[in-house]
Homo-oligomer: A and B are copies of this chain.
């Protein structure tokens, strides 16, 4: 594990200055991360459920944190593919929680999966897989 919980919190705040728009870190382990999105009006669709883009944004940043926990703070890793299945209507008024695990962390590609839940509900509302391209390491970096 290349970053502590506190390292990651600070990294996410610096690189995602919109802050809570992208969620807060709850747990971090090697190649795993859990984040919460405190749901606000800007995340809602008519009817009061969380919008797809809000879920995709949270999925993206949570897998990113899981990847960086393994390779260290490589700010330039970029998402190349995201595939998401929307499974159930999120609960109205509930925050959403994302739990991500890397399936592979290679030299040039990282692939992770993430399940998204309405806070307090055991059935996932969405599930995504994601690929990140990892830029070539400069000397001294993420060997």
Listed in ascending order, the chain A residues whose CB lies under 8 Å from chain B are: 15-18, 21, 42, 46, 51-54, 56-57, 60, 78-88, 103-104, 108-109, 111, 113, 123-124, 127, 129, 131, 133
Which chain B residues lie closer than 8 Å to A51 at the CB level? 57
The minimal Cβ–Cβ distance linking A86 to chain B, given in whole angstroms, is 6
**Which B residues are CB-close (under 8 A) to A123?**
104
Please pick, from B18, B57, B84, B103, the residue contacting A82 in the complex, using a CB distance under 8 A: B84
A53 touches B46 (CB 8 A): no
**A103-B85, A133-B108 are contacts. A42–B57 as well, Cβ < 8 Å?**
no
B52, B82, B111: the one contacting A52 at CB < 8 Å is: B82
